[in-house]
Amino acid sequence: MTAMKKLLLAFTVLGATAMAHADDNFASLTLGQTSDKVKKSNALDSALNNPNADGVIGKDTTYGLRLGKQNDQGRYYATYDNVSGTHNGIKLRQENLLGSYDVFYPVTSSTKLFGGGTAGLTKLTQDSPGYSRDSDIGYAVGLQGGVLQQISQNTSVELGYRYLRSNASTEMSPHGGDKVGSLDLTSSAQTYLSANYTF
**pTM to 2 decimals?**
0.84
Task: List Cα–Cα distances, 184 to 44, 71, 163, 195, in angstroms.
Answer: 11, 38, 16, 32
Q: How far apart are the first and last CA of the chain?
A: 39
Q: Which residue has the higher pLDDT, 46 or 132?
A: 132
| Residue of higher predicted confidence among 18 and 1 | 1
Q: Cα(155)–Cα(196) distance, rounded to whole angstroms? A: 6
What pLDDT score does 13 carry? 52
| Residue-level pLDDT at 18 | 45
- The amino acid present at 48, given as its one-letter code, is L
Name the residue with higher pLDDT: 59 or 19: 59
Residue (of 95, 119, 114) closest to 103 by Cα position: 114
Alpha helices in the chain (DSSP H): 3-21, 42-47
Q: What is the pLDDT of residues 138-170, one digit of tens each?
A: 999 999 999 999 999 999 999 999 999 999 999
What structural domains does the chain harbor?
A: 22-31+58-168+185-198 (2.40.160.20)
φ and ψ of 2, to 5 deg: -70, 165
